[in-house]
Chains A and B, each alone.
Chain A
């Protein structure tokens, strides 16, 4: 079982297109740097998309009107994934996006003026709700009918991919654009600082000295198609989504369980669903945020599932920053690129193994690898854990 992926699109701190992202991954070049576009009110390291809202609006020809950065980034990636595809009445096309902040970037502008009683623009709030960010992307692409938004914190867009695959398999849709988008906001930056898990230095996933994450922003979309849709589009299949699972950790509102309960269930069930055996997993694109808690819990889960034979794994968060709801889709695109280009990415900024688990991630880019099956993990706040399996064959 599985569904075909026929298009991908991405915008992140390391590039505005699939090609730019691939180049940066190939050069092990991070996109994290000092905050430059957002007025965060403090110095900090972030994975910003290196384009202003004005330039994004111009590039996308959406006019100068009120639109959230979350919608702009999402539209940029969605257009690339959609490509030159055409609409047809016979092909039921849907869109599922994921976001955690929605139009919070605009709401912050409003609320600051509102508190200062300096003529706040209430119209900015029309883009606040998460659903409206997806509706805007759908409207620009001419998609109507099934338009949905998921919000499960850091696992949101992995769930969008999963839901899209399920809708295709049950014949509710023929074609669906799935992914997610999140813009950087002061709200989330202050939020992760309040939790004391924002690292003022470079984030160091899976390193013993890790002390938190660097936030990022971005968007990614994948086009999933059924056989019927492929007959119409003639699109070439570039990869498959073959396995998926979602499980609740039910341990703590923000922290992951030390036993990795939810993560273990998600990984195990996704691989089971894919029909692959454990030793067929060529690469694990880990969630690996760089927080003490996540990386330990995820390492324990990997050992729970794979025992002494944990496959090559790395976190790409040190390239992009943690892009929250967009992370699952961004890393899904990286997983597809890994299979297409036979690459295993470097886990940047790693020095020392985590004492409790002793797991060593891939520390140098590996080229010419035999990569056929990739596991991608996305674990969120609130105990929302999801894993996906991508393969080059069914």
Chain B
């Protein structure tokens, strides 16, 4: 079994260190901004100055998550990111094209996708398995699956999460590519401690996580996953989805009254399904009648991510 022992999210919503946030948040307004905690509580000042948004969010969430769970060292650190460290990538790309001669290396060093996982391991002195998945909208699900493989292989506590950051050029790019998102483009990070055993503060359990690249039929894929887990659409108390798949959900037998488009809450970023997971877990703590939750991530419609959650037995 796979248990979620702790969760931490920094986003455009008041999610950080705010249990019960799911009951108080409303859909994001167009001009929403990232709600940053006092990072100095988590990151040493000298280091903090050099860190981009995505790195600050990732390290702070990771430390918060480990603190909540009372775990000093996880057995592994697994991160998913769709677009990686955009701020530093753009900065170095700019330098590389505009500056003649020797360039400052910091933005290059911090441009690689594995910078988050690397900085987390550095900040806590962790020598375990360290991995970064980057499969656009399915990056987080792939990270979760990897964590579950590790737990099956005998590890006990895995720090798994996702992060993506917004930079201004993204808005310009989406206009030019004729993509006019109905929700704002946002930045966020979410980290979770996944454990092989139930603990006193366990929040929920993950029944299954599956990814389908270049997916054929979304309804058939959902039904097959539910059947494999010996459940069905009627048993679902909450379905969180992203992407234009309301019809697919109806065909799969999902009650529209129980489904909710999470990108209205999270905004749009490649790993927004990590926000959905934290939101689901938080809802389950507030409302004990929510026992079975499915997250359907079709942010990019050719790629489907499915995450099935179950409440802990009382």
Contacts and interface: CB of A to CB of B under 8 A. Distances in A.
Interface of A: 100, 102, 107-108, 111-112, 115, 122-123, 125-126, 129-132, 134-135, 138-139, 143-153, 159, 163, 166-167, 170, 172, 186-187, 190-191, 193-196, 246-254, 261-262, 265, 380-384
B114 A125 contact: no
Contacts of A265: 127
A250 B111 CA distance: 18
Given A130-B134, A382-B115, A194 B104 contact: yes
A347 B138 CA distance: 40
From B84, B93, B139, residue with most partner A Cβ within 10 Å: B93
Contacts of B125: 250
Chain B contact residues, majority secondary structure: mixed
A23 to B, nearest CB: 34
Contact of B214 (A122, A139, A151, A248): A139
B113 A100 contact: yes
B95 to A, nearest CB: 8
B9 to A, nearest CB: 22
B127 A248 contact: yes
Interface stretch (B57-65, B116-124, B193-201): B116-124
A382 B111 CA distance: 11
A378 to B, nearest CB: 13
A111 B93 CA distance: 8
Contacts of A102: 134
Contacts of A151: 84, 112-114, 132-134
A187 B92 contact: yes
B30 interface: no
B39 interface: no
A112 B93 CA distance: 9
Nearest to B153: A166
Given A122-B176, A248-B77, 5 more contacts: A108-B96, A170-B153, A193-B102, A248-B118, A381-B109
A172 B150 CA distance: 13
B93 A107 contact: yes
B97 A131 contact: no
B152 interface: yes
A149 B146 CA distance: 12
A172 B148 CA distance: 12
A129 B136 contact: yes
A7 to B, nearest CB: 21
A222 B93 CA distance: 32
Nearest to B76: A246
Contacts of A108: 93, 96-97
A159 B121 contact: no
Nearest to B50: A253
B127 A247 contact: yes
Contacts of B92: 187, 190-191
Contacts of A262: 127
Contact of A146 (B93, B134, B213): B213
Contacts of A163: 131, 146
From B96, B121, B215, residue with most partner A Cβ within 10 Å: B96
Given A131-B134, A144-B212, A163-B146, A191 B117 contact: no
A145 B115 contact: no
Contacts of A100: 112-113
B134 to A, nearest CB: 5
Contact of A159 (B77, B131, B176, B215): B131
A148 B211 contact: yes
B173 A122 contact: yes
4 closest cross-chain pairs (CB), A and B? A382-B118, A147-B213, A151-B113, A191-B108
Given A170-B149, A170-B152, A193-B103, A112 B97 contact: yes
Interface in B13-58: none
